[in-house]
């Protein structure tokens, strides 16, 4: 996914070919990123380490399943551990264009689902340093992408791209007034993302590590580190497995499916 950091994530439309002799635009780079790293079906199991400002750690494990059909994705995140939150799930349906994605949070203790309204998608997910909006597919129609330079990261040539919300609705509902991402030129993978609030304050950083080739031109980051600057907290997501071969169907991506025991 998987999510913006995979995001995810999270990979849809036909791309604009990048000509070797022409400097690509920011939007072309992000579009090509989506094209190269698209998977129709994907399953991942990841370990989460939540580190508070005093260095105390909590450990969790999640399963992430996603499916893309007709240029729209659906994803389901379910907790495997610890036992007290096993079965908690987040279901996301991408709607495309300038429509709101649908998200539902399922609480296994009460066996109830709550729809996440647009204005609440800026809130943090289950005490992690990821917001609900970080766990959606990137919507190119409601953002503006500008190539603002080239800057190496860890010795790797990268494009530096600024991302701004481009509609009044996205400006109002997103917790981010601006994002800046470093995209590696050799494989179109995001290596770093900086998140700013609507007052231009740096509020969060995401680093994408342990990048591995899956097949063809498709890569995945097996380790993502999210850090909230003012809170001084971190969430480390380390993938144990990523499977892009198993196939899924619509029955998995429903509110009723979240009520089933997690496997």
Residue 143 belongs to domain spanning: 3-259
Query: Of 17, 62, 64, nearest to 36 (Cα)?
Result: 17
> Binning pLDDT at 50, 70 and 90, where does residue 101 land?
confident
pLDDT at residue 247 is higher than 70: yes
Q: What mean pLDDT is predicted for residues 196-216?
A: 97
Q: What mean pLDDT is predicted for residues 86-103?
A: 89
Residues 80, 63: contact at Cβ < 8 Å? yes
Q: What are phi and psi of 116, to 5 degrees?
A: -90, 110
Contacts with 154 (C-beta within 8 Å, 6 or more apart), sequence order = 191
- Flag the least confident range among 15-29, 43-57, 124-138, 157-171: 15-29
> Cβ–Cβ contacts within 10 Å for residue 34, how many?
18
Considering the entire predicted model, what is its pTM? 0.89
What is the number of domains present in the chain?
1
Identify the pLDDT of residue 100.
77
**Residue 152 belongs to a domain with what CATH number?**
2.50.20.10
Residues 237, 48: contact at Cβ < 8 Å? yes
Identify the pLDDT of residue 118.
79
Q: Is 226 exposed, middle or buried (0-12, 13-18, 19+ CB in 10 A)?
A: buried
Identify the pLDDT of residue 263.
85
State in Å, rounded, how far the first CA of the chain is from the last one: 19
């Amino acid at each position: 996914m998987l999510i913006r950091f995979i995001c995810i994530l999270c990979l849809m439309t036909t791309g604009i070919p990048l000509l070797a002799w022409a400097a690509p635009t920011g939007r072309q780079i992000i579009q090509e990123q989506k094209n190269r790293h698209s998977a129709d079906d994907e399953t991942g199991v990841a370990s989460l380490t939540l580190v508070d400002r005093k260095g105390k750690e909590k450990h969790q494990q999640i399963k992430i399943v996603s499916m893309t059909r007709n240029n729209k994705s659906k994803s389901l995140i379910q907790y495997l551990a610890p036992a007290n939150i096993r079965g908690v799930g987040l279901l996301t349906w991408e709607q495309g264009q300038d429509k709101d994605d649908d998200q539902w949070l399922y609480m296994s203790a009460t066996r109830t689902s709550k729809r996440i309204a647009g204005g609440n998608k800026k809130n943090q997910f289950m005490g992690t340093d990821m917001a609900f909006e970080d766990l959606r597919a990137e919507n190119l129609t409601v953002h503006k992408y500008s190539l603002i330079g080239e800057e190496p990261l860890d010795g790797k040539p990268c494009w530096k791209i600024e991302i701004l919300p481009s509609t009044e609705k996205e400006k109002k509902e997103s917790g981010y007034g601006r994002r800046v991402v470093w995209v590696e030129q050799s494989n179109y993978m995001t290596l770093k993302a900086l998140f700013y609030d609507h007052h231009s304050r740096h509020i969060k950083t995401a680093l994408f590590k342990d990048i591995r080739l899956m097949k063809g031109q498709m890569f995945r980051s097996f380790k993502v580190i999210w850090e909230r600057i003012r809170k001084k907290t971190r969430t480390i997501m380390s993938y144990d497995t990523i499977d892009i071969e198993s196939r899924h169907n619509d029955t998995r991506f429903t509110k009723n499916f979240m009520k089933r025991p997690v496997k």
